[in-house]
Amino acid sequence: MHRRGIPAHVRADNGPEFIARAIRTWLARADVGTLYVAPGAPWENGCAESFHARLRDEFLNAESFADLRGASRLLKSVMDRTLP
C-alpha cells in the first residue's frame, strides 16, 4: 500500500485468511473494500489463481526453508529481481 497506493478493494476467495476478523478489521481501517469470488468459481480470479499456482510450484515446492524469516527474505529477493 505504501509503494502502490491503497486499492479500492481486495478480491478474496472466501478462504480462512479473508474470513479472519483481524484481516477484515485491518481492511476496514485502511478503507479497503472486499470483493468475494463465488464459491466453486476460481475462474473469477484467474490471475491470482495462476500466480498462486506458479508461486507454489516454482518457489515453495522447489526450495527448503529453515524458518519463515528465511522464506520471506528469499521471496523478497526474487520479487525485487522480477517486478518493475
Map out the domains of the chain as residue ranges.
1-36, 41-84
Closest alpha carbon to 24 in 37, 2, 9, 38: 9
Task: Supply φ then ψ for residue 40, to 5 degrees.
Answer: 75, 15
Q: Looking at residue 49, what is its pLDDT?
A: 76
pLDDT greater than 70 at residue 4: yes
Q: Which long-range contacts (CB under 8 A, 24 or more apart) does 19-27 make?
A: none
**Once rounded to an integer, what is the mean pLDDT over residues 13-31?**
78
Contacting residues for 34 by C-beta, under 8 A, at least 6 apart: 9, 10, 11, 12, 18, 24, 27
Report whether 44 contacts 38 (CB < 8 A). yes
pLDDT tens for each residue of 31-66: 998 887 777 777 777 777 788 788 888 888 888 888
